[in-house]
């Protein structure tokens, strides 16, 4: 499996505060990988750096063998990188249909909308509704669908379970599992470690801006320190 995304020695800061401290992360083509860790570990900052929303001070970001460090976010999106940010950030004044249309800007060959409705049937029912009228779970589904419609080569999800009821989270992660099964490459940031590890093959654990553990799902679940910190036992 060739690496689609490779981070080498990545350092990202907010002024004098170093949020990410020299991390190395890879995601293979067609692979699903998660980054787990407590709030403030540097997980979201990492995704924003990949998406071009933050400028790293050191390191390298390679996507499909090309250095994308310093490129604008729109350029990175057109290369096939899609980020669903923490908090969803759908456009509340626009309809579901209009939000989906926005997701097509980075693609010359957008996904057939019916494929999205097969994945998220509720969106077809809500097509003409304003996004502001959707529930939190429906807004999250819309945000994921908006990213998928552009046929991204890499889908990055930032804390998709945040603020959602457990039953909604379970349903959402079933859909994420379907997305992974379809062959979409996934980089998932999530505090809910058990749920994250249920949809990926490998994971990284971050703390204080550093990668403190990495391995397959089985290896991470078997680590006594991680089990106590993230799996409740």
The pLDDT value recorded for residue 70 is 85
In this prediction, residue 92 carries a pLDDT of 93
Strand pairing class (3-14; 58-63)? antiparallel
The separation between CA 95 and the C-alpha centre of its own chain, rounded to angstroms, equals 23
DSSP string, 163-187: T--HHHHHHHHHHHHHHHHTT-EEE
Q: Compute how many other C-beta atoms are within 10 angstroms of the C-beta atom of residue 26.
A: 18
What pLDDT digit, counting tens, does each position of 101-151 carry? 988 876 778 888 899 999 999 999 999 999 999 999 999 999 999 999 999
The confidence score (pLDDT) of residue 232 equals 58
Cα(85)–Cα(151) distance, rounded to whole angstroms?
Answer: 17
Tokens of 138: 């429906």
What is the C-alpha separation between 207 and 104, in angstroms, rounded? 35
Tens of pLDDT, residue by residue over 151-199, are 999 999 999 999 899 999 999 999 999 999 999 999 999 989 999 999 9
Residue 31: pLDDT over 60: yes
What predicted TM-score, i.e. pTM, was given to this entire model? 0.94
| CA pair distance 20, 232, nearest whole angstrom | 26
Amino acid 231: pLDDT:
66
pLDDT band with cut points at 50, 70 and 90 for residue 223: confident
Say whether pLDDT at 228 is over 90: no
Q: What is the set of domains in the chain, with CATH numbers?
A: 3-230 (3.40.50.300)
CA-to-CA separations, 49 to 5, 57, 61, 134, 138, in angstroms, rounded = 12, 10, 9, 30, 27
Task: Please report the DSSP string for 80-148 in residue order.
Answer: TEEEE-TT----TTSBHHHHHHHTTTT-SSPPPHHHHHHH-HHHHHTTTSBGGGS-HHHHHHHHHHHHH
For the stretch 221-228, contacts whose Cβ atoms lie closer than 8 Å and that sit 24 or more positions apart, written own/partner, are 221/197, 226/193
DSSP 39: T
């Amino acid at each position: 499996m060739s690496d689609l995304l490779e981070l080498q020695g990545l350092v990202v800061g907010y002024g004098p505060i170093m949020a990410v401290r020299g991390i190395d992360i890879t995601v293979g083509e067609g692979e699903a990988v998660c980054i787990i860790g407590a709030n403030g570990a540097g997980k979201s900052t990492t995704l924003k750096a990949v998406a071009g929303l933050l400028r790293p001070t050191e390191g390298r970001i390679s996507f499909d063998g090309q250095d994308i460090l310093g490129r604008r976010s729109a350029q990175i999106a057109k290369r096939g990188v899609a980020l669903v940010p923490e908090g969803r950030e759908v456009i509340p004044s626009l309809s579901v249909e209009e939000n989906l249309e926005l997701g097509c800007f980075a693609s010359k060959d957008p996904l057939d909308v019916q494929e999205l409705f097969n994945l998220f049937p509720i969106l077809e029912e809500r097509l003409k509704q304003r996004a502001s009228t959707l529930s939190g779970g429906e807004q999250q589904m819309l945000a994921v669908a908006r990213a998928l419609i552009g046929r991204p080569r890499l889908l990055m999800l930032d804390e998709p379970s945040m603020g959602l009821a457990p039953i909604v989270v379970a349903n959402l992660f079933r859909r994420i599992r379907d997305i992974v099964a379809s062959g979409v490459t996934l980089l998932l940031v999530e505090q809910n470690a058990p749920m994250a590890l249920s949809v990926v093959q490998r994971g990284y654990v971050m703390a204080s801006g550093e990668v403190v553990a990495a391995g397959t799902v089985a290896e991470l679940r078997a680590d006594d320190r991680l089990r106590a910190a993230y799996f409740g036992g």
